[in-house]
Structure 1
Amino acid sequence: MRLFQNYGLYPSYVPRLNKLAANTRSFTERRDVFLHDRFGASHFLQPVLDGSPDAFFTNGDDEVLQRRWAREQGMPGEPALEAILLAQIEHHATEVFYNLDPVRYPSAFVAKLPGSVKKTLCWRAAPSGNADFTAYGAVVGNFPSILDMWRSKGCRAELFFPAHDPAMDAYGHGARQIDVVFVGGYSRHHRARARTLEQVAHLAGSRNIVLCLDASRLTRLAESAIGRLLPLRQHRRPEAVAGIARPPVFGRDLYELIGSAKIVLNGAIDMSGSDRGNMRCFEAMGCGALLVSDAGRYPAGMDSETIVTYDGGSDCLARIEASLNDWTEMKAKAERGRAAVRDLYSKEQQWALFRSLLERL
């Protein structure tokens, strides 16, 4: 099977990638630096991580990466990123195209794929406005309610999951000096999460609390000197949060941070309804931290035996304190969670499920 997997970079991650890859010169060197850093690795299929000669991986929105490939292949002028991606797919003689950036490359892009491509899938676990993915063989994701939404828009939708990244096994075996860590976004889509974070931030006087927040552009503007003169108070982070907030962390630095924490706090974005199981759940459990997350419908292996759930802000504080005060038992629960994610969501099982999906398309 000639597999092509396309990913997309998170804007806040790009400066880190540019620093890590500063001494690279070729397409392969920059791509390998990215893959080694493990950013988003829960989504990367086994043949990609194994370096299979039949698998091709790229970040179709990484202009530095893509233009290197275009130059190396002798493409004239300054072709558009879409043209480069199509050329890569044709050059690779792709049979299966798996796209994790379908908003950028929707149905209109699928219509341009070369004839070698027989099957197409895209991952999308969030609403996407009027984006059209109906030309894909299937939209995949792990939130059943969002899959139902895609079906209502005329797409075929299938259940699929992130996987345990084997690189996580190297992290989280030393002292866990951080009591609670949260890593994630802070924007208008995270109102319930923001209320919880504010309450947890007040624990910083007695506990080691680390909040690594990727604030939205509007939040950054609201907190700037100019923004404080504008009617943007509702977009500013509470002082308790802003006072201890750190920049976001990614890749292996994220694994290291989680591996140094007893508890990883998680909170779903407002648009996910009652479905739970975002990638942070897999990362937290995979690195051996205790996942404390909001109540909802979780996938198999994420239950009362392996994680702690809370119903609201005050309940979250109570769960955190109870967990830290009974850490011996909670550490055992975290280890059960680590084993569950490793056993139920291995790369081998993810790849087997992917192949099963292809057979049904």
Structure 2
Amino acid sequence: MRLFQNSCFYPSYLPRLNQLAAKAVSFEERRRVFLHDRFGASHFLQPVLEGASEAFFTNGDDEVLQRRWAREQGMPGEPTLEAILLAQIEHHATEVLYNLDPVRYPSAFVAKLPGCVKKAVCWRAAPSGNADFTAYAAVLGNAPSILDIWRRRGCRVESFFPAHDPVMDEYGHGERPVDVAFAGGYSRHHRVRARTLERVAQLADSRNIVFCLDASRLTRLAESTLGRLLPLRRHRRPDAIAAIAKPPVFGRELYELLGSAKIVLNGAIDMAGTDRGNMRCFEAMGCGALLVSDAGEYPEGMQEGVTIETYGTPEQAAEVISRSLQDWPGPAEIAARGRARVRGTYSKDVQWKAFVDLVGRL
């Protein structure tokens, strides 16, 4: 199978990538730096991470990366990022396209694919307005309620899961000086999560709590000198959160944080309904931390009191965390079982075999 996987990253990750890739002068060098840093690696298929000759990977939203490829291949003028991506697919003679960025490259893009592409599938685990994915052979995801949305819009859907990144095995084998870590977004879309963060942040008087927050532009504006003169109070982070907030972390820096924490706090975004199992669950468990996450419907292997702990309210989150830290190392055994379970149930080998089987059914 000649596989092409297209991905993307958060705008807030770009400064880190540019710093890591400061000496990279070619497409291949910049791509190698990105893949080594492991941003989003739970979604990257085994042939990509192993550098298989029949697999091609790119970030279609990385203008620096894509324009380097275009120049190296002699594309004239200033082609659009879409034109470059289409040229890459044709040059690779792709048979199967797996697109992790379908909002940017929806059905209109699929209609332009070269004839070598036999099947195109995409991953989408969130509502996406009026985006049209019906031209894809299937929309993949691990949230049943979200998949139902796409099914009702005329898409074929298939259940598929992130995987344990084997590089996670390098982290979390020493002391865990951080009592509780949280890494994730903070915006108006995270109201429930924000209340939980505020309650847990109040434990910082007696515990080492580390919140690495990727604040929205509106939140950053609200907290600026100018923003404090505007009616944006509800977009500012509560004092308890702001007092301990650190900049966001990504890639191996994220793995380092998760591997240094006894507990990783997780909370679904408001639009997730009762479905649970976002990528942070796989990352936290994979790095050996005790996952404390909000109650809901979890995938196989994520079981309350066995491999993870859950909470129902912000107050319960603080109670579960306090009790777990007091009873340590008992909950450490739950974390160890969680690490073993996610490593076995969601290995890269299992993920790749599931993908091959899925494509074969389409």
Task: Name the structure 1 match of 2:347.
Answer: 346
Secondary structure at the residue paired with 1:58?
A: strand
Partner of 1:214: 214
Partner of 1:192: 192
Structure-to-structure mapping, 1:124-139, within 5 angstroms: 124-139=124-139
Alignment-derived partner of residue 334 in structure 1 = 335
Counterpart residue identity of residue 355, structure 1: V
Aligned partners of 2:66, 2:54: CA distance in 1, in Å? 19
Determine the structure 2 residue equivalent to 1:358: 359
Secondary structure of residue in 1 paired with 2:128: coil
Structure 1 segments, 4+ long, off by >3 Å, are none
1:170 counterpart residue number: 170
Displacement of 1:23: 0.2
Q: Match for residue 225 of structure 2?
A: 225
* Residue 140 (str. 1) matches residue 120 (str. 2): no
Query: Aligned partner of 1:360: which letter?
Result: R
Deviations 1:300-330 (A, max 9, x none): 0000210000000111111001100111110
**1: CA distance, partners of 2:316 / 2:240:** 19
> Partners in 2 of 1:296 and 1:253 — Cα distance?
29
Q: TM-score, normalised by structure 2?
A: 0.99
**1:321 aligns to 2:322 (yes or no):** yes
Partner of 2:89: 89
Match of 1:11 in 2: 11
The C-alpha deviation readout for 1:66-120, integer Å capped at 9, x for no partner, is: 0000000000011000000000000000000000000000000000000000001
**Letter in structure 2 aligned against 1:139:** V
Q: In structure 2, how many angstroms separate the alpha carbons of the residues matched to 1:140 and 1:41?
A: 17
For the residues of structure 1 that align with 2:234 and 2:178, how far apart are their CA atoms?
30
In 2, Cα distance between equivalents of 1:58 and 1:235: 35
Q: Name the residue aligned to 1:275.
A: 275
CA shift at 1:9, angstroms? 1.6
Output the amino acid matched with 2:279: M
| TM-score, normalization by structure 1 | 1.00
Q: Distance between the aligned counterparts of 1:201 and 1:319, measured in 2?
A: 14
Q: Distance in 2 between matches of 1:87 and 1:327?
A: 55
Q: Please tell me the residue identity of whatever aligns with 2:285.
A: M
Aligned to 1:312: 313
Unaligned 5+ segments in structure 1 are none
Q: Which residue of 2 aligns with 1:158?
A: 158
Query: What SS is found at the alignment partner of 2:67?
Result: helix
Following superposition of structure 1 onto structure 2, how do residues 283-322 of structure 1 map, counting pairs within 5 Å?
283-304=283-304, 305-322=306-323
CA distance in structure 1 between the partners assigned to 2:354 and 2:190 by the alignment: 31
Count of residue correspondences: 361
Deviations 1:233-266 (A, max 9, x none): 1100001101110000000010011100000000
Q: How does 1:3-42 map to 2 (within 5 A)?
A: 3-42=3-42
Residue 76 (structure 2) aligns with = 76
Equivalent residue number for residue 58 of structure 2: 58
Matched, 1:238 2:262: no
Distance, in Å, in 1 between the alignment partners of 2:49 and 2:314 is: 39
What is the rounded CA distance, in whole Å, between the counterparts of 2:33 and 2:213 in structure 1?
A: 24
User: In 1, Cα distance between the equivalents of 2:188 and 2:161?
Assistant: 26
Alpha-carbon distance between aligned partners in 1 of 2:241 and 2:170, rounded to the nearest angstrom? 31
Write the distance in 1 (CA, Å) between the matches of 2:23 and 2:338. Answer: 39
**Is the counterpart of residue 47 in structure 1 residue 47 in structure 2?**
yes
- How much identity, in percent, do the aligned residues show? 76
Letter in 1 for 2:83: A
Amino acid at match of 2:348: K
State whether structure 2 residue 253 is matched by structure 1 residue 249: no
Aligned equivalents of 2:357, 2:328: Cα separation in 1: 41
What residue identity is the alignment partner of 1:234? Answer: R
Instruction: Give unmatched runs, 5+ long, in structure 2.
Output: none
Whole-angstrom CA distance in 2 between matches of 1:207 and 1:39: 29
Listed one character per residue, the Cα deviations across residues 221-240 of structure 1 (whole Å, up to 9, x for unaligned) are 11111111111111000011
Which residue of the partner structure matches residue 103 of structure 1?
103
Mapped partners of 2:256, 2:346: distance in 1 = 21
- 2:158 and 2:233 map into 1 onto residues whose CA distance is 41
Report the Cα distance in structure 2 between the residues aligned to 1:290 and 1:79, rounded to whole angstroms.
47
**RMSD of aligned Cα (Å):** 0.4
Q: Which amino acid aligns with 1:162?
A: P
Distance across 1 between alignment mates of 2:31 and 2:76: 22
The aligned amino acid for 2:335 is: A
1:25-59: CA deviations, max 9, x gaps?
A: 00000000000000000000000001000000000
SS in 1 for 2:293: strand
